[in-house]
Structure 1
């Protein structure tokens, strides 16, 4: 039984298709436009941890896979140019080292000539970034969007609709438990529901709170 649970544990790849925009529809439209630009332009996305910034950067890279060079800089990666006509995505700008920021400045200066574009994410608006002025001023010249996290009620309604679309009998009590005991980013929560449905079918067990607890322990 444990192996069956592990076989259907949540697993998903961030994409624009599985990102629920909520109040962020204008941001998603701007991001899609940015994916096709090769004019040295920059899109800056800011918002708190868990708002979906990293999801969008990973989704952006996946969206253009095979169409143009791309590079994602995150978690201490070295800053480097994506190449001519490339897209550079930089996550958690405020955590980048001085050396990385110096290289980012060079990339920004040459981006138009090399027909590149950038999508950068951080936890603060440009005016609040504590970093070298030449980088923050360049960031401030780009297109800026604040991420607007989904409210709990929006998450509950989305999850209930997702469960209903799969013919699942999923109660609001179970949704509340899921929100309290699991990661709170919506794609992950929806992946948990998918895993719960698969486990129910594989094990021949009804969808219940105990089964949900087993799924979450298998994360």
Structure 2
């Protein structure tokens, strides 16, 4: 079960890998992962931009289900039976699937259902928006239940910043967090990049992380 964190601004110990910040932009995805093994289908999908939490949720499910992670490049029609025989599967970043891999994926989808395994697919865009050419595969994927992770709202972005600062043991004030959250790109990837830059600049210049330093970092991007 993924724990919902109640964050307080300020210093606290870094949370473990199984912790996940739950908010409206990702709660449907969290609920879908938490509902296994009572998924609505043998195959489900998570979609969302880079850094939105798809891989983290997939890792949480892998730990619970014993799933094996594969990439689109590893799909080969002849090897699908052996792959499914390994049990539950995670197929990461379906958007990277090459045209020649579509038939292997079609075979994988059919065999997962036939063998009563579970398959979690992740993609940066919803499956219906993938540029696939095999009609039967397109039809199968359109029927897959999926949850989308949206851009972080104010509460989630603030919580992410607090967690990232705490993970690096950086003490910051609520004013710094509020300043960043109101001006930065609204993505987890951007939050990670900004906190990393603040950490490096603070260390190299022996400067505390303040609003002026945050403004300086944002001005460079």
Q: Is the pair's TM-score, using the shorter chain for normalization, greater than 0.5? A: yes
Distance of 1:119 and 1:129 partners within structure 2: 16
Question: Could you tell me how far 1:156 is from its partner in structure 2?
Answer: 1.9
Indicate conservation of the 8 Å contact 2:152/2:186, yes or no.
no
Question: Could you tell me how far 1:30 is from its partner in structure 2?
Answer: 1.3
Indicate conservation of the 8 Å contact 1:159/1:175, yes or no.
no
The aligned counterpart of 1:129 is: 130
Moved more, 45-54 or 139-148: 45-54
Distance of 2:150 and 2:70 partners within structure 1: 22
The aligned counterpart of 1:78 is: 74
Question: Could you tell me how far 1:185 is from its partner in structure 2?
Answer: 1.7
1:122-161 matches, within 5 Å, as 122-131=123-132, 132-152=134-154, 154-157=156-159, 159-160=161-162
Question: Could you tell me how far 1:60 is from its partner in structure 2?
Answer: 2.8
The aligned counterpart of 1:185 is: 188
The aligned counterpart of 2:27 is: 25
Per-residue CA shift, 1:46-69, capped at 9, x if unaligned? 2233322233234433x23xx635
Indicate conservation of the 8 Å contact 2:48/2:125, yes or no.
yes
Pair 1:170-2:173 in alignment:
yes
Distance of 1:53 and 1:161 partners within structure 2: 18
Q: Which runs of 5+ in 1 are unaligned?
A: 1-11, 214-219
Structure-2 change in CA distance of 1:116 and 1:188 (3 Å) = farther
What is the total number of aligned residue pairs between the two structures? 192
- Structure 2 length-normalised TM: 0.62
Moved more, 128-137 or 173-182: 173-182
Indicate conservation of the 8 Å contact 2:94/2:122, yes or no.
yes
SS at match of 1:142: coil
The aligned counterpart of 2:47 is: 46
RMSD: 4.5
1:52-131 matches, within 5 Å, as 52-61=53-62, 63-64=63-64, 68-73=66-71, 77-79=73-75, 81=80, 82-84=83-85, 86-131=87-132
